[in-house]
Structures are given as structure tokens and as C-alpha cells.
Structure 1
Amino acid sequence: MTEPVVHIDNLTIQYQNHTVLDGLSWSIRKGEHYVIGGKSGSGKTTLAKAIAGLIPANDAIQIHFDTQSPLRAKVEYIANWYQFTNLEGDRNFYYQQRYNRHQGKDTLSVKGDLEHFAQKEGLCFADIQQRIHDFGFEHAQSTQLIELSSGEHKKLQLIRGLWIKPQLLLIDEPYTGLDTKSRALLNAWLDDWANQGVQLILITNDNNLPKAINRYAQIVNGKVETVSSPTSFFRDSKRNKKDIPAFLKEVPETSFDTIVEMENVNIRYGDKVVLKDISWTVKVGEKWLLQGPNGSGKSTLLSLINGDHPQAYGLNLKLFGQPRGSGESIWDIKQKIGMISPEMHWYFDTNATVWHTIASGFYDSNGWFIDVKFHEKLQIEELLEFFDLRDVKDRILHTLPLGKQRLALLARTIVKNPPLLVLDEPCQGLDSDQTQYFNDVVDELAHYGKTLIYVGHYESQLPQCIDHRIVLEHGEVKAIEDIVLNDKKIKESVIA
């Protein structure tokens, strides 16, 4: 029998006093393409990083490359999020910086990043051109890394990792942030590479997988268990439904009838048009779904609403009944908004505890805040109880499983009971049960006068309260519709 591609013998990895992998042994043979799924926080990412050599494994892992293969004798790991640096090698970015053009030039462009990567790895740029085109990523070539949306960052990660064509490829949450078309293209690409000999290990609970996938495993009590299909993966325990905290049942006071009014709004960076002639009105109490393919302008549109975009002044734009630039400060705007987004999650203070994370929602900061008032402390404690986070309130946010991180950030979003909730792909990386729980909470909140703007790609993973939809494409409004999600019936459609 030939040697396995990956052989692991008695691998143990601990973080502080917590054992993540406990005497784990596992072998992967040539042609076995795995999905590793199961409970969040079980050790999936830790195992992948150990196989890739990013975490010390004390000689417990052996990789046997095929010396006759034309593929690179390399293990390539594509992380859940893309960690990039500025031109000086620094990762110390802040959230609003991605909309400030002159500061954005502190990072490489997409093409510059790919060219640098090609030179480092000895790759030919022509070999990836067609993939870039197929991914719909050509328009982003001149875009600075800091300006990319989460979906665009994922595409860049995938293009880089797949370009190498390694013998062993591990991808952590491969579909995070990708629109439906891009997910299908990725699966076709992975099938192509598998047919050429690339060994695949994907970390995901998604059911829409490449055809090449033929093995399934999960980590239970620090050890690998194989299962017959993704439906056999263990899931996080379903949370018992609790009564929503009393302060969130109070309808936010509003002295205005509209949340957003914009007419013929345009945003451009030099010759690049990001938003073109956008006209959109959001009335108090409406629940909007914002959709569009990666790079369509969704993040830029939201940045105009939440006060982060410097070009908001001088536009025909009203927020909360007041023309933008009529004397209000950015903090006046943010006080009325609760927001969560993948980008905010990226840039969030890495030293913030769960308690500090929620408390920062009162002051719209990314972790830092002044001393909270007594009634604010009570609201924080109520949310810790509501989201089952009390036992981890003193843990550093980024050390928790992704599902708990997102719940803590949702608690931060609603802690001040704002009139507008902006939830930008809030369920990225969550499994179906976690997503359902999250959206059930959103539906419950919607009963108490909240206005909602929700960004999501998949109708099957959305709150049922949504009653309107706006669709962007290439920076323009493609459609504005009234919808009913529970039976997918289109009540009225206005195509722009």
C-alpha cells in the first residue's frame, strides 16, 4: 500500500489551559478529497493550520509529496479571512480608512498584489488571466486592497491560492462572502484542479460542494471522526428561545418619517465610477434587503448611510430627515444606527473582551469606550444573558468560535436600541442552524419599530420580516421591489 498523503499520529494542541486537539490520529490517501465540518470551535481551523505547518505539531504530522507529479510539492492553506498589510508591512488599519482614497493608496492595488505574488512564487500572470475574467474580478485590478469588499477579498485569496496549484490545498470557509455565481465557478475550478491531481481539504458546513468531494470528517473531543455525508455533521446546540430584553421592546423615538433619501447619487474614484445615479428612499419601519454580486457597490452605498464615506457631503442625500452636511456630526448619525459587517469584524479591536465589545456599541467605537452608565451596564448584562454569552463575557472576542463572535457583535449592534439596523452579511461563516437563530432574533426585533437594511445573497437564509429589496449591479440600481419572503411572491417590481 502506498504511503498516505497526510499521516497524523497523536497530535495534541493546547491553547493556554484548553486542549483543542487531543491525541488526534488521521491518514488521508491520494484521491481522498475531504470536507471537515461540524461544531464551531471544535478545532477544524487549528487542524488545517497544523497540516499546513502554520502551527507547531511536534513532528506528529508527515506530508508525503508525489515526486513524479507536475504539481508543486507544497501545502497551501487559504484562510477564512485575508490578512493584508500596507506598503510598510503594517496591519494597523481602521475601518473608515477603506473609504478615504488618499489613505487607500497606502496599500497595493489588486494587480500589484498579484504581480508581487507571481514574482515571489515564480508564476506567470498569463496563466491566471482567464480565471480572473471568469470570476468577474477584472474590474478590481486597479482597486486598492483596503477598498475591497469581503467578497472581493475572498476572490483575491482564492485566485492566489489556486494559482499555485499545490499538491495539497486546504481552504477554510471557501464560500465566505461569495455570490451565487462565484460559488458555482469556484466549485467548477476546484473540480478541475482535483482532476489534475490537487488534493482538497475544505473546512465548511455548506452542502453545495464540488463534485470531487468524496470524504467527510468532523472533530469530536479533539479527535477526527469520519461520517457518511454533511448531514451527519454534529451541529451546535440549538438555543432555547428567550424573551427579548424589555429595553428592546421600546419603539425607538423618531422625529422623522424617512431614514434615507438619496437622489441621483454618484460616487467615483478618479475615472472609476462606483455608484451611478442611485435614487433610493427608506421609510421608518421598512425592512430592506440589499443585494448584488460581489463588487456591485453595496458596501459603498452602506458607507454613505452610516457616515463613513467622505464623499457623502455635497450629494443629494438626507439621513434621518436631515440633509447630509447640515451641521450634524458623524457621531450624531451613528447614534441612530446599529451596524455589523464583515469589514467591521476584521478591523475590530483584537484585545476587546466580549463585554467590552458589547459596551462599545454605546459609543460606536471598535472596542474602546468610556465608562458606561449604570443603566447601560444593566442592558449589557441582559444581552449577555439573552445570547448565552455570560460564561464568556471576559474572554477575548477573537478567541471564541465564529458563531459566538457574531452573536456578541449583534448584541453590540442593538445595545443602544437604535432606530436603524444595518446588517451587512451578518451570517458569513455561520452554519444553517446558527444562521436561523440569528435571523429569528432579527425577526423578533423587527416587531418593535426597527428599520432594517440587510445584506444577504441567499433567500433561504434571510429574516422573514423583509418586505423590500434593492438590487445593485455595476454600481447601478438594477431593481427595486416589494417582496414577501415567506412565499417568495413578488408583489410589485420596478426595474431600473
Structure 2
Amino acid sequence: MPDLAEDSINWFEMKGIAVRLQGRIVLEKVDWSFEKKEHWAILGGNGAGKSTILRVLAQQISYCKGTLRRHPELQGVTHLGWVHLNQPLELLAQEKLKDRWEEYSGRVQEQQTIRSMFSEYMLAEKESQDLLRLMKLDSKVDRPIRGLSNGEWRKLLLFQSLILFPKLLMLDEPFDGLDKTSSKDFKSLLRELVQHSKLSLILVSHRQDELIPEITDVMGLRNGKMEYSGRRSSILTEPNLKKLYRSETKASDTRKFQSEIIVSKFRNIEDSLIPPVKMENVHLYFQGHTVFEDFSWTWPPGEHWQVAGTNGSGKSSLVKLIVGEHLQAYSNKVWIFGKRRGSGENIWDLRKRIGVVTPELQMNYRKKITGRKVVYSGFNDSIGYYGAISEQQKETAENWLNQFDLFEIAENSFLNMSYGQQRLFLLARAMVKSPEILLLDEPCQGLDPYQRSELINKINLLGKSKATQILYISHQVEDKLDCIGATIFLPDGRIERNLSAFRKF
């Protein structure tokens, strides 16, 4: 079918669009006309098809039914900007390859910076300079991209899209992982861009409160189908929002989860007298930037803690020090289960006792395997599934798949899942080995409101069961855990105790 005419008022028109992935229909009967003067939001739960629509528009995947007609100005790749959660993972994966090449060849590889990502000519343009200042990135152009905070990453990816002057900008969950200040700054930045340019916007989100006032129209998706679409003023009603997410909590499932955890073969964390983590006068630097200065902390046995701080304050670095993924853990005074890093301890024996869910793990897990095999890989702490596991281990894995409501999609390709679905599989992967400590770095990132609530309830039950010690990182106020006994604030190390947690549990 021919493209839209030059004088068309629409950027594109979809009629009856359907998408099939791995033999399964994941999107169907989508009718959507997008006028140039409009700004749209797409709402829906995990796996609803929100990102799939964007991938169709970006010509990353094909549709099996229907028609899609574009305005001629959208035919060029540069005229369609797209910012999504997997972009930092893809760029950082390239940096990981450099590390491996450096290890094998002995040749020092140059660190990727904002400046090296773009030509000097491109950065010298007045529009580029103005954008960098607007985004507060002008002082960071020579900083390695690995050292960027979540908020800085979002701005960098937005800059990468805007520098090509797109007509239409697509943002897929741009606020996930941002602290309150960074989220507010990013929202203000978006508003200024929309108000002072001819840019049209598509904003994908799980959350109504993330929609900027300039959004004119809203589409709601559920299970790959359009529930509604139209003007924001008439669409954003409580009944419409409830259609998109499962809101019922099955009490029987909650009791089943709790009872199975308590009678499982977990140890009781209160039996241990040795702190799982102890740090003394830690100094941590990255590319000339101080992350920690004279930082000391002891994680008492039997307690669940939260790590708080703004983007870039060192929360994820703390997790890397514990796991042993940061080399400076071996040059500092860091003890894990009473054994000092660098004293000849067996790193793999220690890792068997630690469950981890982090954005970095999700970045590294780019294997073309099913969700079920991702969970199986947790028994060996491998990226990818290699070799067989016992029948008892399979039974344990299937139990965790059921606990997180993942059984129905367990045979789907992990890489074709939504960001939030991947996060749930990685949590199940962490739990199969019955870890003594569980490190959760933004575990709810990418989850819709229903799944957030369910996951928080289940993590709280884990905490109540005293089966594992939890170290929890989250920016969202509503994602707070009742079982948390204390919070450490970074980078200064200030501690606040929560005595009510001990009274409850």
C-alpha cells in the first residue's frame, strides 16, 4: 500500500496490525492514526504489546496482518527517534567486549565517552551545544559512559536521538530506575522539548503519573489488544485504567507462597553470628571520580537492609563490591561471610551463597534460550544454560516459576520478553539456589502496578520467613518493604533504623 501523501495531517496510519513472534500472536487488530499535532501515551501491563508497537514503527520486526502507511518524512531512519531500556545494555555490552579483548590481547582499549560516540563536527554544532547544556551533559562529555548514572544515561540516549532532528520521538519507559530528582528533571526536559519544537511524542509507560501534561491522547493495551484509545481527557478514567492491569490478589496463592517458603529447606538467617558483609574504610574510585571515601559498614546477621541515595551515589557499586565484580573489592577491607576479599577465598563458593538481581545481570544475559532455562542456570551461576540439572533441582525451579506466575510464558524466548518479564525470571533464577543473602537492585523496574504490588508482597514474605537476608535498592516510595530493619544512605553512610520492622516480624 502506498505511503501517505505529502500533505497528510498524519504521521502514520495503522489498520488491523497483527504481530506474530515465535509462532504466537503478541499483537492484533491495532487501528491507530497519529496526527502531527498530537502527543500520545501508550499504557498497559507487562507483555501487553506496548514495546512491540514501537518495534513495528522502528521497522525492527514485521507485522503479519494489516497495513501501515507512513508520512514520507518518516521514511528516513533518522526521522524516527527511539529511546528504550535495552539501549544502555547494548552499549555497555560493547564495552564488556572491549574488556575481554584487553584481557586476551594485553592491549589497553580506549574507554567510550560521550565525546567519542559523536563526531567533533556534530558536537560543535550550536544545536548540539544547546542540547548538551539543556540536559546538563556539557560538563560530562569526556566521562566514560560506564560511569554515568541512570539519569545521565536517559539524557544521553535522548541526546543521541535528538541530535538527528527526528520528527517523531518514541520513549519506552524513560523514567524507570530514576530517583525522584532525576525523574522530575527528565520530565521538565521533555516538556521543554515538546513546547519549543515541532517534535511529536509517543510515551510508553506503566504509570499514569509519568505522563507529562502535553500528552493529548492515550492508548490502552491488554494482552496484545487495544482496550481503548482517544483523547486524554475522556480516556484517563479509573475504570479504564483498571481494565489494563490485574487488580485482584489471590489470597490462596499468597498463603501457598508463604507456607512453601517457611517449610522449605532454607536455613534460618538468625542462626548465623557472622555478618554477611563488613567493610572498613573503603575507598572506591572510577576514572578519577570518587565513589566512596573512607566508607565503613557492617551488615548485621539476620537483618534486612535498604540502600538509598540519588542516581550516581554508589548504590550499584556497593552491590558489585559484595559480589566481587569490582576489582577494587580486593584492594580494600571487604569481608564476605567472614572471609576477606583477596585472602585466597573461593569466589565461586561464595557466589553460591549470594542471589543477585541487577540491571547489569540483565545486560549480560543476552542468550537465546527460554525463560525456563534462564531459571535453571541459577543453580550454576552461569550466563546461559550448560549441562543438566537434577530432577530435584527442576522441581525447585518449577516451584519458583509458579510462585512468580511465570509458568505460562516459561518456554518463550527470554530475549523476546518485555523488560519487566525478564526481571521476574532473573529473580526466580536468584532464588532457586536458596541464597543466604539476596541483593535486589531495582527489582521492580519495568513492572506494571499489579506485578509491582505482587512482587513487593512476595519479597516481604521472604523477609518474614527469615529464609534469606535481603539488601534492597529502590527509588519508588510505593515499593517500600515492611521487613526492612534499617536503611543506609549513600554516599555518606548515614544509617536510619526501622524498629517497627522488628516488632512486626
Shorter-chain TM-score range: 0.7 to 0.9
Deviates more, 1:269-278 or 1:208-217: 269-278
CA shift for structure 1 position 438 = 0.8
Q: Residue 28 of structure 2: which of 15, 18, 22 is its match?
A: 22
1:447 matched residue in structure 2 = 464
Q: 1:4 to 1:172 in 2, by over 3 A?
A: same
Letter in 2 for 1:454: Y
Q: How does 1:16-415 map to 2 (within 5 A)?
A: 16-56=22-62, 60-64=67-71, 74-82=79-87, 91=94, 93=96, 105=109, 107-113=111-117, 115-116=118-119, 119=122, 124-133=127-136, 137=137, 140-148=140-148, 150-196=150-196, 197-206=198-207, 207-220=209-222, 221-223=224-226, 225-226=228-229, 228-229=235-236, 231=238, 232-233=240-241, 234-237=243-246, 238=248, 240=250, 241-242=253-254, 243-244=256-257, 245=260, 246-247=263-264, 250-251=267-268, 255-415=272-432
Structure with higher helix content:
2
SS of structure 2 residue aligned to 1:258: coil
Deviation per residue, 1:269-322 (Å, 9 max, x gap): 353222221111111121111122222211111111011111111312211122
Q: What is the identity percentage for the equivalent residue pairs of Structure 1 and Structure 2? A: 28
CA shift for structure 1 position 36 = 0.3
Letter in 1 for 2:399: E
For normalisation by structure 1, the TM-score amounts to 0.85
Q: Can you give the 5+ residue segments of structure 2 that lack an aligned partner in the other structure?
A: 1-6
Letter in 1 for 2:38: E
CA shift for structure 1 position 219 = 2.8
Q: 1:412 to 1:31 in 2, by over 3 A?
A: same
Cα distance between partner residues in 2 of 1:63 and 1:214: 20
Cα distance between partner residues in 2 of 1:281 and 1:361: 27
Deviation per residue, 1:402-429 (Å, 9 max, x gap): 4432222111111111111100001111
Q: 1:249 to 1:419 in 2, by over 3 A?
A: closer
CA contact (8 A) 1:50 1:57 kept: yes
Q: 1:376 to 1:54 in 2, by over 3 A?
A: closer
CA contact (8 A) 2:168 2:201 kept: yes
Deviation per residue, 1:372-403 (Å, 9 max, x gap): 23332221122122223223333222223344
SS of structure 2 residue aligned to 1:447: helix
Cα distance between partner residues in 2 of 1:297 and 1:104: 26
CA shift for structure 1 position 57 = 5.4
SS of structure 1 residue aligned to 2:465: coil
1:470 matched residue in structure 2 = 488
Q: CA RMSD in A?
A: 3.4
CA contact (8 A) 1:248 1:445 kept: no
Cα distance between partner residues in 1 of 2:150 and 2:387: 30
Q: 1:151 to 1:424 in 2, by over 3 A?
A: farther
SS of structure 2 residue aligned to 1:445: helix
Cα distance between partner residues in 1 of 2:13 and 2:333: 62
Letter in 2 for 1:166: P
1:492 matched residue in structure 2 = none
Q: 1:149 to 1:369 in 2, by over 3 A?
A: farther
Deviation per residue, 1:29-64 (Å, 9 max, x gap): 233211101132222112112223333459933333
Cα distance between partner residues in 2 of 1:361 and 1:318: 24
